[in-house]
Chain A
C-alpha cells in the first residue's frame, strides 16, 4: 500500500498567516488522485480538496492544492480562526486508499 507522510507534524501560526502543509507518498499516486480533509475535535473529517486541487462545494478559495506524483501541498493563504484544526491528506489512486498521519495547525 502507498504510505503517506505529512509534514510538519504541527504547525504553529497566527491568524492571517500563510500555512503550507506537505504530503509525500511512498510511490507515485495515479492520476493525481489525492484529497485533503480538515478535522476538528469530535467531528468527522470535512473534505476540502480532491483530485489534488479541486475545491469541494462550499470551501473558500483561501484553500488551494498543488503538486503531482509523490508530493502534494495544501496551502491556506490567510489563516482564519476557524482553520485551526488537523489536516489529513489521502490518496485514492491505488487500493487500499490511505491517509497521512495528519498535520495539526495550532494557534501560535
Chain B
C-alpha cells in the first residue's frame, strides 16, 4: 500500500521560504507524477504544482514565481519550496500521487506563517 508523509517546519516567518518534503513508501516513484496541494484553514483546495518522475514540472500560475518542486527518486522523496511567504500561505499542505486525480494523499501538515 502506497503511503505518503509530509515533513517540515510548522512555523515559517513572513518573507522566508517554506520547505516541505514528502516521503513515499510502499511503492516506487517511477512512472508517476507527484503533486503538492494546499488548503487554508476552513477553506477549499488549491493545486500548487506537480513533478514527474523524470523531473518535468508544472506549477499553478498564481504561485509559479515563488514555487520550486524537486524530486529524488533514489530516496523516494519529493520536495516543495515556496519563497517570500505571507500569512496568506498559511495552510495544510498535502502531497499526493498523480498530476490529475489523486488516490494517494499524505495526511497533511499545517504550516503557519507568523512572526
* A interface residues (Cβ-Cβ under 8 A, vs B): 1, 33, 35, 37, 43-47, 50-51, 56-57, 88, 90, 92, 95-102
Q: Is B55 an interface residue (CB 8 A)?
A: no
Query: Which of B8-16, B40-48, B68-76, B78-86 contacts the other chain?
Result: B40-48
Q: Which residue of B lies closest to A51 (CB)?
A: B101
Please name the residue on chain B nearest to A33 by beta carbon: B100
Q: A44-B94, A44-B108 are in contact. Are A92 and B101 (CB under 8 A)?
A: yes
The reply to whether B99 and A101 form a contact with Cβ atoms under 8 Å apart is no
Query: Binding site of B, secondary structure by majority: helix, strand, loop or mixed?
Result: loop
Query: Interface size class for chain B?
Result: 10 to 19
A102: B residues at CB distance < 8 A: 44
Q: Is B107 an interface residue (CB 8 A)?
A: yes
Residues 2-52 of B at the A interface (beta carbon under 8 Å): 44-47
B residues lining the A interface (CB < 8 Å) = 44-47, 58-62, 94, 99-103, 105-108
Given the contacts A88-B45, A96-B61, A56 and B103 also touching, CB distance less than 8 Å: yes
Distance between Cα atoms of A95 and B106 in the complex (Å): 22
In the complex the two chains form, what is the Cα distance from A1 to B100 in whole Å? 15
> Given known contacts A33-B100, A95-B58, is B107 in contact with A44 (CB within 8 Å)?
yes
Known A44-B107, A56-B103: A99·B44 in contact at CB below 8 Å: yes
| New A-B contacts (10) at CB < 8 Å, excluding given A1-B61, A92-B100 | A45-B45, A45-B102, A46-B105, A47-B101, A47-B103, A51-B101, A57-B103, A96-B62, A100-B44, A102-B44
In whole angstroms, what is the CA distance A49 to B60 when docked?
23
Chain A residues, CB < 8 A from B58 = 95-96
By a CB distance below 8 angstroms, the chain A residues around B46 are 99
CB distance from A30 to the nearest CB of B (A): 11
CB distance from A65 to the nearest CB of B (A): 12
Contact partners of A101 in chain B: CB under 8 A: 44
Q: Is the CB of A97 within 8 A of B100?
A: yes
